[in-house]
Structure formats: structure tokens, C-alpha cells
Structure 1
């Protein structure tokens, strides 16, 4: 595992993984020399590395270019040299957004229409991989996944931020009116889908990963409050984010029918309850990140 350990990294997440099947290397995915040395000894490379928080991309896009574009280029050049199997992790945000009342969902043929520096750099990285498949015969697959939730997620992200705020006696905060819809998938289900694609996916193909978990942000916050024994209206509205996408929705038919994948957490409320319990039980993991995260949001008035 290669990780730069930026502010979002946490070595505590690796506890219990030591052994012959796991090795951690601290370094930058854009470091060509380091990446080449690691790829030389790998049977396959799965590229999860990304700057991924939209708010941060609006304040300073440069790290997103370095990691998402240059980092992806560095990896695909290394796997091309060594003939290594490659899987590229991407996001549904490359497709832009859908109208709230639109019954359509994203598919593998949906045109790209990114709306933030984050999603634009992820779209660019996807296109690099596609070009390397066509031009150089790269043995690669791509997956575009919906919004993840679950254990070990940084507290700047929507669901863990609300959970940890309630634990701290702080009212959750919602952008705008909370009407924006996200398609939620448990992180364990994302991982199982990636493994399925790595083992059985067709080279050059893209697969969308989703668990039919569409919920608007208001409903998610109210579910969190209900599960944690609070009044469902015990939250505050804050100024909306610039360029805030309205709705994401994934059609994962191709993944399910061609590769036989299905999610373990098909019911969002069950997965959310398990996630809330994890954050209650693992305060030592997230507590060191919390103060700095909330200080950044306070400066933004959010």
C-alpha cells in the first residue's frame, strides 16, 4: 500500500494489517521513481489515491491536479512499462448532475460533464486511462462509484461530520435546503465490487458501482438524528456550496448482470446504523482530526 499520509491519512486505520500479505510505504503517487520500484514487484495495481473533497478543491485546486492527473499519469506509465494489470477508481461526479425530478440515472455511456475542480481532475484521469488502453494496450479497467460511507472515513465528509457533531452535542449543518441527492454505498460494498472487477472485468471496460441508495441530504441528517436519539429537526442550514451538484444516481446493471456482483448493504438504514455505532465505538480514531476540520469549516461560515 502506497499512501502520502496527507491530512486525511491515518496510520491507525492500518492496525491489524501487518504480515506477509501487507506492506505500507509512505510516499507520493506522483513520485515516478518510487512508483516504478513498487509496480515492478506487483501483480496488479488498484488506484484509489485521490484528492477527493469538493470543498477543498474550490479553495485550492492545485493539489487535485498534482494527485489526480499527474499521479494517474505516473501510475499508468509504470504499469505500461511492466505490463501490470491496472484498475482505476473514479467517481460518479465526472458525469455532472441530474435534475431532482429526472428519473434517469448515470450509465457507462453518460457523457462527462464535471462541475468542480475535483470532478474535472477525476474526469481527466479517467480519460488518460482510456487513452493508454487504446494507444498502448494498457491492461486496465475503470470503475465510477457513488458516494461512499462507512468506517474509517475522514470527519470532513458529510456523514461522519454529522455523526461526530451529534456525539459532541453540536447541531448538524446542511448546505442550502438539504435537497441535494446522493446515491450512497457502503465502503465494504465498494471494495467488494472493485475486487470483482479486478478478477473478472473485461480489459478496457468501465463499470459503474452503486447500491441504489439515493437519499437527499436532509433525509440523511434526519435519519442520523433519529438513530442517535435526537429530534429530527435538530440541525441548521448554512450557505450552499458554489456549483453544488443537485443529484447523483448510479445504474449498476452492467456490473450486476455481467459480473454477478451485488451489495451486502442493500438497505441504507442498516448500513448507516452500523456506521454510527462504529464512530461511537472508535472515538480515539477520529477525535484527533475533528478540531482542525471544524476550525476550517468555521472560517467558511459552515
Structure 2
């Protein structure tokens, strides 16, 4: 799978490019999930590149799992295929190594050196933490145990090489230990709390884009506690992306249910599976949201939410 980089490193905005690199790092971490990797590689390739008559696999939206077709399975195991799973992994890691190198070359020896040291240490901790706590509890149908074990072993090797590269880069920036920096547990946990998934897919994406500033002003901070505009827009995007932390809904749960249900009922969304998206992305009063669809009490904010929904 190739990265969708957009304009990565075309700007001189260090903080913008830093967030892009952080999102790319999270994609690397998610390589530990075999289903996630194959979903991204084969589903997006089938959607964008394969001819229409190609026998692609099946996407199970509830589990975000992609079931490989026989043709894809054969290409995955074919040593000479560009879709061979070893080559997929090698391309992803090689691309990210290069992204990190170019990022450092562009911004080093400026006022960002200390922040870059922190960034590379963050990547090292996040990668090692997530790998240590990874539990491969999903299955890929059709792949043997030997293939799965080889995949995980190869991924572990590439992760370790990446950690060493990041450690070397942090040390090179921090020559003579000019930055005395040890991350605290609270800061570390912030690094590994990202949610990586797609948001709510909208039917009329152009209309949302046109009205997004107005929608943002109406919803933030009254209904959604203060978040960056780009993160807000990500809530209503069907593309996979990283959310730095759970998003806090600022009013009652019944108003959140009303908002999501009426977006669906009025045909504003691509499917009717958005309660799951919301339950994974949002918290309310600091608490995890579960069984949102069962919260059927009326909200006093219906009229205000109706006006917002019309902008979608």
C-alpha cells in the first residue's frame, strides 16, 4: 500500500507536517493488525486501481475487516507478485523511513530541534508500547498459521529496525545531551491514546465542505468541546485517519443520539452504522459511550440540531 501523502513536506509549516508524519507513524503501528493492513492495501486498491471486472474481496463494515478473494489470496502468496505480503510490508516501512529522513533534513538546525527530539522519542515509545500490548485476536481466513507467524515475525523485525533508526536520529539531534528530556507517564499515555479509524461518511461531501465553517461554529464548543477544525472535519469523513484523543460531546447523550439518527434518517450518511463510529470516537462527561441507539428519550435541543443537520 502506498501512502496518501497529499502535500506532505511541500509547506514550511513544521507543526502541520509534524501531524502528518504522526498519522503516518500510526499507520505503521497498525501493520501489526493483519486485517487492517490487508483492508488498506487490497480494498483501497480494488476501489481505485483494479479494472471493474476484477474479482475483489469483501468488506465487512461492522468489523472493518476485508475478506480476501481467491485472486487476491494467490497474489498475496506469490513471491513474484507486487502484492506479496513481504513486499507490502517492506514498501510501507521503507517509505516511512524515507519520510522521517526527509522531515528531519527539512527542519533540523532550526528552532524545532527540541520538539523533533520529543517527536522521535514519542514514536519510539508508541511503537514499542503498542507492539508489546498487541493481541492478534483477529483471523485472516485462508492463511496458514505458518504464514501468520512469519508475518508477525517479519513485522517485529522491521519495527525493531525502525526504533533503532528513530533512536539514532533523536541522538543525532541531541548531541552532547543538550536537551535533558525524559517523558512523564501522563505525557506518554497521551501519545498512545490515539483512535485510528474512519468517521461518518456523508453523501454530499461537497455541501459539507462548503458549509463546514458554519457547522463548526454552531457545534463547537456547545455540542462538541473545543477541537481543531481539521479534527472536526475528520468526524464526517469516511477516510481512515488518526484522532489524537477521544472527542468530548458537550451536552446530553439523547441529543447526540438525535443528531446521529436524524443524519441517517434524512439520508445524509452513506450507511446506517454510525452509532458504532460515534461510540468509538466520542466520550460524554469523560465516560465511554455504549448502546447509544437505545437512548430514546427526547432532547430539548432538537430544533437547534435540526437547523445544523440541514447544512449537511
Same fold? TM cut 0.5: no
Question: Scaled by the length of structure 1, what TM-score is found?
Answer: 0.31
User: Which structure would you say has the larger Rg?
Assistant: 2
Q: Which has the higher strand share?
A: 1
